[in-house]
Amino acid sequence: GAVVSQHPSRVICKSGTSVKIECRSLDFQATTMFWYRQFPKQSLMLMATSNEGSKATYEQGVEKDKFLINHASLTLSTLTVTSAHPEDSSFYICSARLDRGQEQYFGPGTRLTVT
Amino acid sequence: AQSVTQPDIHITVSEGASLELRCNYSYGATPYLFWYVQSPGQGLQLLLKYFSGDTLVQGIKGFEAEFKRSQSSFNLRKPSVHWSDAAEYFCAVGAPTGYSTLTFGKGTMLLVSP
């Protein structure tokens, strides 16, 4: 149990366009989802915390207008990278947490390449 | 603020040998502690977690970790490493409130030699 999926697994887009990444909890309801960014050979950097039905909480230094997060249901959160630039190229990982406890279940990640 | 230190960037272990990956944390009280494993291009998989109770925690894939409060450590161990264990390992801490975020260490890359 506790499976989290992400779609797409990899995407290539042109500079200036927007890209949407979906994160779904397949077999449980997640009141909280998290979005991370991971640079090559580095750790995960938390970008934002997303609670169902409310606005996301962004970490310091993360542009909320550039990285739009929507958590419309208990099983779906989306990250939209707006007006993407090559420096936005990265590995984006989402996770979902059950209602209580600290355990987060991670998606397989999305590789974004902006050309 | 909480922080996690994984002092070893990478470690090479012979197949069949034992493994210990180090993790030290900084937190005002006893946090929730986790070990995750990441294969190349993949997400993270939870190996084990410590919330309270027995300080020796058993996880999946034959891994275990021991919480040592006096040393602020949560080292990961495996008695006999398999080639499929080669991956990146992340230690993480979270506040014991049930709803806070996780802080990850920088990770340790495990290489397994034949």
pLDDT recorded at residue A102: 62
User: Of A6, A46, A101, which is closest to B101 when you measure between CB atoms?
Assistant: A46
CB-based contact (8 Å) between A106 and chain B? yes
The 3-state secondary structure of chain A reads CCCEEEECCEEEECCCCCEEEEEEECCCCCCEEEEEEECCCCCEEEEEEEECCCCCEECCCCCCCCEEEEEEECCEEEEEECCCCHHHCEEEEEEEECCCCCCEEECCCEEEEEC
User: Of A34, A42, A108, which is closest to B42 when you measure between CB atoms?
Assistant: A108
C-alpha closest to that of B23 among B53, B63, B79? B63
Which residues of A fall within a CB distance of 8 Å from B47?
Answer: none
Determine the Cα–Cα distance for residues A66 and A68; give it in Å rounded to an integer. Answer: 6
Which residues of A fall within a CB distance of 8 Å from B99?
Answer: 32, 100
Q: What is the mean pLDDT of residues A63-84?
A: 94
Which residues of A fall within a CB distance of 8 Å from B104?
Answer: 43-44
Contacts of A55 (CB under 8 A, 6+ apart): none
Determine the Cα–Cα distance for residues A47 and A45; give it in Å rounded to an integer. Answer: 6
pLDDT recorded at residue A7: 97
pLDDT recorded at residue A31: 83
pLDDT recorded at residue A1: 65
Residues in chain A: 115
pLDDT recorded at residue A40: 80
Which residues of B fall within a CB distance of 8 Å from A112?
Answer: none
Q: How far is B94 from chain A (nearest CA, A)?
A: 7
Q: What is the mean pLDDT of residues A16-42?
A: 91
pLDDT recorded at residue B98: 60
Instruction: Return the residue matching tokens 């058993």.
Output: B58
**A4 → chain B, closest CA residue:** B43
C-alpha closest to that of A28 among A77, A96, A94? A96
> At A52, is the pLDDT very low, low, confident or very high (cuts 50, 70, 90)?
confident
More confident residue, A80 or B41: A80
Q: What are the distances in angstroms from CA B63 to CA A55, B5, B19, B43, B72?
A: 38, 20, 9, 19, 19
User: In angstroms, what is the C-alpha Rg of chain B?
Assistant: 13
Q: pLDDT digit string (tens) for B62-102?
A: 999 999 999 999 999 999 999 999 999 999 998 877 667 88
Examine the pLDDT at B13 and tell me if it is beyond 90: yes
Q: How far is B24 from chain A (nearest CA, A)?
A: 16
pLDDT recorded at residue A103: 79
- CA end-to-end span of chain A, whole Å? 37
